[in-house]
Structure 1
Amino acid sequence: MANFALSKALIESDHPILETLPAAFRRNGGRVSLAFEFAMLVVAMLLAANDWPSAAWLYAGYTVANGAFGWLVATGRI
């Protein structure tokens, strides 16, 4: 849930860094971006369920990195 919320908040922020993203990721309220987040979650869950628990840890690390980036953008440090 955190990754979806962070992605949506970043897209709605209209931060200048969004100009570096492809237009498809920003269009329609970021639906492609949210679909990408969902695909990453599903892949991580499937890998973790099929004897690759490292996928869950990698996804957790990705979530922490997203949180840190979201915090940097929200506080104006980037």
Structure 2
Amino acid sequence: MSWATVIIFLLGIANFAINRAVFDRGHPLFARLPQASQTLGQRAALASEFAVLFFALLLSVEGWPGYAWAYAVYTAVNAGAAWLILTRRV
């Protein structure tokens, strides 16, 4: 297992934790949605997060270590958006 794969895996764990924190916080925008929409939105977000992580890991294992940098940028943008939501700046 290469260093890029390990980094992407650890960043993937962070991204799932970020998503969970955003959904558990109870932002007013989410609270206005019906429960069915909230559930569907959470599942869709986790499924898309898994797909991004899966393909980043797949490309990294196949010899494209540059995707570790791309996934790190993705994680930073995701963390920035979560910070805006969690601090109620959005």
TM range (shorter): 0.7 to 0.9
Q: Give TM-score, length-normalised by structure 1.
A: 0.75
Q: Percent identity?
A: 42
**Aligned residue pairs, count:** 74
Query: Which position in structure 2 is the counterpart of 1:69?
Result: 81
1:75 to partner: Cα distance: 1.3
| 2:85 equivalent to 1:58 | no
| 2:57 equivalent to 1:45 | yes
Which structure has more relative contact order (CA 8 Å, sep 6+)? It is 2
CA RMSD in angstroms, aligned pairs only: 2.4
1:29 to partner: Cα distance: 7.3
Unaligned ranges ≥5, structure 1: none
Unaligned ranges ≥5, structure 2: 1-12
Q: Give TM-score, length-normalised by structure 2.
A: 0.67
